[in-house]
Structure 1
Amino acid sequence: MLAILSDSTMWVALFQIVIINILLSGDNAVIIALACRSLPPKEQRNAFLIGTVAIVILMTALTAFASYLMTIPYVEVAGAILLLWIGIKLLLPEEENENVSASDNFWGAVKTIVIADIVMSLDNVLGMAGAANGHMGLLFVGMVITIPLILFGSAMLMRLMERFPIIVTLGAGLLGYVAGEMAVEDPALKGLIASAHYLEIALPILGILIVVGMGKLLSARQTLAVPTEG
């Protein structure tokens, strides 16, 4: 253990992992804030903690075979489609139903945080895996160090969302953009992208339009479908 602590290359690798995770976790903070914005303050804190701890554990495991996973055709396309749906869902109004308990909403927020962050982090883990150079313990420690920073960013975003609802739409649009970028990077589409370079820009923009357009349309329909009290 002392040998590891005195190894300067280990400290450099740890620093690299932390910096990479901070730089690439802006969208993670957005999804945490979006998923938890409707929960009571106490449940927000619990969802933050449970969601981020689950992410650290799953991302550490995912990194072990991330390089292989990213070479499988259509994995990133499937992730992009899932991310589009999550973005659309986050724009829909909260269900006000007596059968939907606080517990259901809480675990629904945790599930959204974990699924969206894991999907969005497929690219991120490659950078961190390279920095860790196969040392999973180092990777785990590096991600644990960045948890408070991600949580702080999420909490700040939630306060801004309460004051400026437009940020919710912008956040969902960001998920659409990330989904488009994921699709561009899929090995199955490399040939198509190479012959049509405009798709590198078009697909992320299309992702934004799909999420915001479908989200607003379904939200409006859902609002109109709610019977007014008379």
Structure 2
Amino acid sequence: MDMTFWLALGQIILINLILSGDNAAVIALAACRLEPAQRSIALWWGSLGAVGLRIGLTLLATSLLAWPGIQLLGGAVLLWVSYGLGAPEAPSEIGESPVQGRWRAIRTILVADVFMSLDNVLSLAGVARGDHLLLILGLLTSLPLVVMGSSLLLRLFERFPWVVVLGAALLAQVGGAMLASDSLWQRLPWGPWPHAALVFSLFCAFLVGLLRLRS
């Protein structure tokens, strides 16, 4: 392994950490309603599963993003997830066992991370240049740091519950921006307007935040 390999590895770790801020917020939001004993399990398994999915997505990134409607679908899923994560406990969650709650949180983390990572993996694929070992090492090395970031956010959510609303609004903004980035969106009458994606994503963030404050 020459110096080029190590430089590329450092780039992948740095890019993944920079692009994983939203993902860490999702992980923390999904785990914040779990019992303390279940949180670390959900954080680690959710993050590990997300890394595995991100590796697979990176190998398929170019072809996946070329599919019309894939970002539209991803954005819609993230909007739904953002609304659910900021909400009080649903009736179906009351009486849920700790293990059931843990697996529900892990599923939420994986679903959200898949779509949130679609754009990110293009950057990772560009650095890896087909070197699968380099990609896997880079993502696995950054895993503990992502979990640490999620743990810090969890403590913040516990101390300041209103920050959960901000986290849900942030995720809604990401979902709105992804939805507005799809090629199908561009075919709409307002699609070509340069600021359409920004305005729509901010509207999504405002709407989800308002709904959560009123619930």
Q: Deviation per CA, 1:109-156, whole angstroms, max 9, x where unpaired?
A: 000111111111100111001000011221111011111111111111
Structure 1 position 136 matched with structure 2 position 136: no
- 2:200 is matched with which residue: 200, 203, 215? 203
- 2:210 is matched with which residue: 213, 222, 226? 213
* Gaps in structure 1 of 5+ consecutive residues: 221-230
* Gaps in structure 2 of 5+ consecutive residues: none
More divergent stretch after superposition (34-43 vs 92-101): 92-101
Over 3 Å counting, the alpha-carbon distance change for 1:205 and 1:24 in structure 2 is: same
Equivalents in 1 of 2:142, 2:208: separation in Å?
29
Letter in 2 for 1:137: L
Specify the alignment match of 1:83 in structure 2: 78
2:35/2:98 contact within 8 Å kept: no
- 1:51 is matched with which residue: 46, 52, 55? 46
Query: Shift of the alpha carbon at 1:164?
Result: 0.7
- 1:94 is matched with which residue: 89, 96, 112? 89
Specify the alignment match of 2:186 in structure 1: 190
Query: Shift of the alpha carbon at 1:8?
Result: 1.7
Specify the alignment match of 1:146 in structure 2: 142
Q: Report the TM-score, using the length of structure 2 for normalisation.
A: 0.93
Specify the alignment match of 2:64 in structure 1: 69
- 1:35 is matched with which residue: 25, 30, 38? 30
Identical counterparts, % of pairs: 38
Letter in 2 for 1:38: R
Specify the alignment match of 1:10 in structure 2: 5
Q: Report the TM-score, using the length of structure 1 for normalisation.
A: 0.87
- 1:120 is matched with which residue: 108, 116, 121? 116
1:87/1:211 contact within 8 Å kept: yes
Name the Cα RMSD after superposition: 1.7
Specify the alignment match of 1:111 in structure 2: 107
Equivalents in 1 of 2:119, 2:145: separation in Å?
20
Query: Shift of the alpha carbon at 1:189?
Result: 2.4
More divergent stretch after superposition (80-89 vs 198-207): 198-207
Q: Highest Rg: 1 or 2? A: 1
Residue 180 of structure 2 aligns to a residue whose secondary structure is: helix
Q: Deviation per CA, 1:165-193, whole angstroms, max 9, x where unpaired?
A: 11100000001110111122212223556
2:29/2:86 contact within 8 Å kept: no
Specify the alignment match of 1:168 in structure 2: 164
